[in-house]
Structure 1
Amino acid sequence: MDLLARLLYRDPAVLIIDKPAGLAVHAGPKGGEHLMLYLDALSFGLKRRPELAHRLDRETSGCLVLGRTSKALAGLGELFAKGLADKTYWAVVVGKPREDQGVIDYALKKREKKFGWRMEVDRTGLASVTQWRLLGSDGRLSWLECRPLTGRTHQIRAHCAAIGHPLVGDSIYGRGTGTLAGDRLMLHSRRIVLPFHAGKPPIAAEAPVPEHMLSVLKGCGWSES
């Protein structure tokens, strides 16, 4: 894994990389390949390797923030905890929403199931808010811009499914959608903006569209130009 080729931003405190889809960010109970195995390549002369400032699901691609020092990690953790990190995701969902934009404001709660866990809409759960905007559609599938204003696990996936438009390739919240355009989850962390360095412009990075989403997004109206 050549993470140097996937580096989107670097300064003495912060790195942002383009995480590939299909790579877990940390070791799971069953082992296997994960991002932590490759972070030594991003030390750039420091005695410690960078560490995760937040997480992305295994199948989600795109902007992932790393802290290079303990102080940076603490500061980044505070930004994410306070909702000050401006995150923009691109998602391909089933169907076409009736409106051009909206806000999903459904509390989410983790539910343990016989074959695993999932997040479900529940009034007693944690407050969860996602802004979304329709960017294009071919009538069968739609390209959405999603901005999670809270940082719940699986938030965009659970919220889109809750309004009747599950993500393509989502094996948990959109079973059966994989055959529509391949079996890969179509969720990409497109852009992130972090007001991190006092007195300086916010850090900003944008991740290129991953290969497995290119043709579908073009079908929904996206152009590389």
Structure 2
Amino acid sequence: MKARMLADEVEIIYEDDDFIVLNKPAGILTIPDRFASAIPNLYDILKREYGKIFVVHRLDKETSGVICFAKNEEAHADLSEKFEEHDVNKIYYALIMGHLRNKEGRIDLPLSENPKVPGTMRVDYESGKRSITEYKVLEEFENYSLVEVRPLTGRMHQIRVHFKAIGHPLAIDSVYGNKSEIFLSEIKKKYKPKEASRKDH
């Protein structure tokens, strides 16, 4: 099928009687925020368009990528089972701070919600749920690394918290890291933006 736009910058890349697959842009929530339900999110946008919709998996607000929703209970149960049984491969690409000593590995740290900061997660060895993230370094820059990431569990903010825990937070992460923006010149040493686009980052 031909891709079409559902809302501002939300592109439908596949749709049939059971599923709808979106190209989620960064900056939009997957589901309503628990503390601010008025913030735009994919679930509400789809609900207005289709009436009934089922959440299969989630992507963080600032994460872009392919996300799937189900249109009926049968499709939801089927796809949810595939995610739980790891029949569906989830691959992310992340730019992290610094260089990892092991260029390929696994982060196995239990996570739980942080009671001191609602809506965030933390490493919790006492009551946290087991959380596993596999990674492979694809390319290294002066102060950053591009990594391929495969979360084997689906905890909230798992990738962000895991890389923060091992001392390599995501390059842009105002919650778990220390930067809310970066410039290409920080990654590519010889990169010189045009005068008209110096504010682009």
Question: Residue 131 of structure 1: CA displacement?
Answer: 0.5
The amino acid that maps onto 2:172 is G
Q: 1:141 to 1:82 in 2, by over 3 A?
A: same
Asked if 1:25 corresponds to 2:20, the answer is no
Task: Work out whether 1:123 is the aligned partner of 2:125.
Answer: yes
Letter in 2 for 1:59: E
Q: Distance in 2 between matches of 1:146 and 1:83?
A: 15
Which 4+ stretches in 1 moved above 6 angstroms?
A: none
Gaps of 5+ in 1: 183-214, 221-225
Distance (whole Å) between structure 2 residues aligned to residue 15 and residue 9 of structure 1: 6
Determine whether 1:92 maps to 2:95.
yes
1:117 positional shift: 4.1
Equivalent residues in 2 for 1:25-174, closer than 5 Å? 25-28=30-33, 29-30=35-36, 31-39=38-46, 43=50, 48-113=51-116, 115-124=117-126, 125-174=128-177
Report if the CA contact (8 A) 1:16-1:64 is conserved.
yes
Change (3 A) 1:38 1:109: closer
Give, in whole Å, the separation in 2 of the partners of 1:106 and 1:32.
Answer: 31
Question: Which has the larger share of strand?
Answer: 1
Residue type at the aligned position of 1:93: I
Write the distance in 2 (CA, Å) between the matches of 1:76 and 1:90. Answer: 23
For 1:36 and 1:128, locate their aligned partners in 2 and report how far apart those are by CA, in whole Å: 26
Q: Is the 8 A contact 1:103 1:130 kept in 2?
A: yes
Q: Where in structure 2 are the equivalents of 1:180-191 lying within 5 Å? A: 181=182
Shift of residue 219 of structure 1?
Answer: 4.2
**Post-superposition shift, 1:59?**
1.2
* Secondary structure, aligned partner of 2:160: helix
CA separation in 1, counterparts of 2:115 and 2:132? Answer: 22
1:112 is displaced (CA, Å) by 1.1
Percent pairwise identity: 34
1:21 aligned partner, one-letter code: A
TM-score, structure 1 normalization: 0.71
Does the CA-based 8 Å contact 1:137-1:219 persist in structure 2?
Answer: no
Residue deviations 1:119-157, cap 9 Å, x none? 222223111111101011212011111000111111100
The 8 Å contact of residues 5 and 12 in structure 2, kept in 1 or not, is answered as: no
Q: TM-score, normalised by structure 2?
A: 0.79
> 1:14 is matched with which residue?
19
| 1:40–1:152 Cα change, 3 Å | closer
